[in-house]
Structure 1
Amino acid sequence: MLIVNQSELPGSQFTGKDHGGVGFSFFLVTANPGDGPKLHQHEYEEVFVVQEGSVTVTIGGESAVAVAGDIAVVPPRTPHKFVNHTDGVAKLVNIHASSEIVTEWLE
């Protein structure tokens, strides 16, 4: 059994390879207004779980608004990004289908 307290994570990142070789990794994201990663892609799937607020998600050139309770699935090797387009805070869990987070930045 593995239980990790968030306070033990470096920043907000859980990397599977650092926790017994678990087959996934994730970020606990708090995005202030205007925050979000630039366009990038991975060799594996990524899932955005919006827990609070709202973000504009761009996946493969298509953009949509995702609100609390929404889940956005990004296929492998698909350019994607998100931005908090609101005046409030957005909270997400970004799950990577890999024990190591490997990112190719496109902008």
Structure 2
Amino acid sequence: MSTETLENVEGRDIGSGISIIRERTDVDGSGPRLHKHPYGETFVIIHGRARFTIGAAEREGSAGDVLVVPADTPHKFAVIGPEVYEAVHIHESDHFITEWLE
């Protein structure tokens, strides 16, 4: 049985200058479509793997990796199953600002 957990915390709600997304899923291929933010985003991968597109580059991220996406850089990722992908996505803003590109 597939499971997904997504928890968003905006920094302004807790007195912080950063916002986070905590994600846990075993749904192969899941992930956001191409988008960008006017601030940097850092992915801390705790478990599992995902295929990331960051600008023109593609790479696989796996447990223990930290990937940084510069401000205004289009990016997306897709979970590589069947193992659980678990990560913390750190947004360098006290609230989420997303421009969807696809």
Distance in 2 between residues matched to 1:69 and 1:104, nearest whole Å: 28
1:28 aligned onto 2:22: yes
Q: Gapped runs of 5+ residues in structure 1? A: 1-10
TM-score (norm 2): 0.90
TM-score (norm 1): 0.86
Distance in 2 between residues matched to 1:86 and 1:19, nearest whole Å: 33
CA RMSD of aligned residues (A): 1.0
1:58 matched to which residue of 2?
Answer: 53
Structure 1 runs of 4+ aligned residues shifted over 3 Å read none
Deviations 1:77-103 (A, max 9, x none): 000011102222100100000000110
Which structure has the larger Rg over C-alpha atoms? Answer: 1
SS of the residue corresponding to residue 20 of structure 2 reads strand
| Alignment size in residue pairs | 96
1:92 matched to which residue of 2?
Answer: 87
The alpha-carbon deviation at position 35 of structure 1 amounts to 0.6
SS of the residue corresponding to residue 100 of structure 1 reads coil
Deviations 1:45-102 (A, max 9, x none): 0001110001111100211001100000000000001110222210010000000011
1:105 matched to which residue of 2?
Answer: 100
Select the structure that is richer in strand: 2
